[in-house]
Structure 1
Amino acid sequence: MLERLNEAMARIEADLEGEVDVKLLARIAGTSEYHLRRMFSALAGIPLSEYVRRRKLTRAASEVLSGQDSLLDIAVRWGYGSNEAFARAFKAMHGVGPQEARTRNKPLQSQQILTFRLVVEGSTSMEYRIVNKEAFKVVGRGTRVPLVHLGMNPAIVEFVKGIGMPTLERIKQLSDGEPEGMLALTYNQEGVEEGDQLDYFQGVVTSREAPDDLEALEVPENTWAVFTAEGPYPETIQYMWRDVYAQWFPSNNYQSVEGPSMLRTQIDGDQAKAELWVPVTS
Structure 2
Amino acid sequence: MDWLQRMNQAIDYIEDNLENHIEDEQLAKIALCSVYQFQRMFSFVLEIPLSEYIRRRRLTLAAFDLKNKKNKVTDIALKYGYESPESFSRAFQNLHGLTPTSARDTGSQLTAYPRISFQMILKGVVGMNYRIEKRDAFQVIGLEDIYGIDNIANEQGVSIPEVWQNLCRNGEFDRLHQMVTGDWHSDGNFNKELGAVFAYDSYKFTSNTTFPYLIGCYRSGNSKVDGYTVVDVPASSWAVFSTLNDGNGSGNYDLRSLKHRIFSEWLQTSKYNILDGGNFEMYGTNKDGYEYCELWYRIGEKQ
| Band of TM-score, shorter chain | 0.7 to 0.9
Cα drift, residue 207 of structure 1? 4.1
**In the alignment, does 2:196 pair up with 1:182?**
yes
Determine if contact 1:100/1:106 at 8 Å carries over to the other structure: yes
Which of 133, 149, 168 is residue 135 of structure 2 equivalent to?
A: 133
- Go from structure 1 to structure 2 and tell me whether the alpha carbon gap of 1:206 and 1:17 turns closer, same or farther (over 3 Å shift): same
Cα drift, residue 171 of structure 1? 2.8
Letter in 1 for 2:152: L
Cα drift, residue 139 of structure 1? 3.2
Partner of 1:259: 277
Provide the rounded CA distance (Å) in 2 between the counterparts of 1:164 and 1:49: 34
Partner of 1:155: 163
- Go from structure 1 to structure 2 and tell me whether the alpha carbon gap of 1:20 and 1:122 turns closer, same or farther (over 3 Å shift): farther
Q: Which moved more, 1:153-162 or 1:93-102?
A: 153-162
- Go from structure 1 to structure 2 and tell me whether the alpha carbon gap of 1:74 and 1:40 turns closer, same or farther (over 3 Å shift): same
Letter in 2 for 1:228: S
Determine if contact 2:179/2:223 at 8 Å carries over to the other structure: no
Q: Which runs of 5+ in 2 are unaligned?
A: 154-159
3-state SS of paired residue (2:282): strand
Q: Matched residue pairs, number?
A: 277
Partner of 2:258: 240
Cα drift, residue 242 of structure 1? 2.6
3-state SS of paired residue (2:296): strand
What's the % identity of the aligned pairs?
27
Which of 23, 38, 47 is residue 21 of structure 1 equivalent to?
A: 23
Cα drift, residue 58 of structure 1? 0.6
Taking the TM superposition and a 5 Å limit, the aligned residue runs for 1:1-282 are 1-103=3-105, 105-142=107-144, 147=152, 153-163=161-171, 167-174=175-182, 175=184, 176-179=187-190, 181-188=195-202, 199-210=213-224, 212=226, 215-230=229-244, 231-267=249-285, 271-282=290-301
Cα drift, residue 198 of structure 1? 5.3
Letter in 2 for 1:216: V
Provide the rounded CA distance (Å) in 1 between the counterparts of 2:173 and 2:91: 46
Cα drift, residue 111 of structure 1? 1.0
Cα drift, residue 186 of structure 1? 3.5
Provide the rounded CA distance (Å) in 2 between the counterparts of 1:79 and 1:237: 35
- Go from structure 1 to structure 2 and tell me whether the alpha carbon gap of 1:166 and 1:63 turns closer, same or farther (over 3 Å shift): closer
RMSD over aligned CA atoms reads: 3.1
- Go from structure 1 to structure 2 and tell me whether the alpha carbon gap of 1:74 and 1:132 turns closer, same or farther (over 3 Å shift): same
3-state SS of paired residue (2:67): helix
Cα drift, residue 34 of structure 1? 2.0
3-state SS of paired residue (1:20): coil
Provide the rounded CA distance (Å) in 1 between the counterparts of 2:34 and 2:137: 23
3-state SS of paired residue (1:35): helix
Provide the rounded CA distance (Å) in 2 between the counterparts of 1:34 and 1:65: 37
Provide the rounded CA distance (Å) in 2 between the counterparts of 1:53 and 1:13: 12
Provide the rounded CA distance (Å) in 2 between the counterparts of 1:120 and 1:203: 38
With structure 2 as the length reference, what TM-score do the two structures score? 0.78
Letter in 2 for 1:203: C
Cα drift, residue 215 of structure 1? 4.8
Provide the rounded CA distance (Å) in 1 between the counterparts of 2:112 and 2:8: 20
3-state SS of paired residue (1:69): coil
Partner of 2:157: none
Provide the rounded CA distance (Å) in 2 between the counterparts of 1:58 and 1:100: 15
Determine if contact 2:274/2:300 at 8 Å carries over to the other structure: yes
Q: Which moved more, 1:239-248 or 1:73-82?
A: 239-248
- Go from structure 1 to structure 2 and tell me whether the alpha carbon gap of 1:215 and 1:200 turns closer, same or farther (over 3 Å shift): closer
Letter in 2 for 1:229: T
Cα drift, residue 190 of structure 1? 7.9
Q: Which runs of 5+ in 1 are unaligned?
A: none
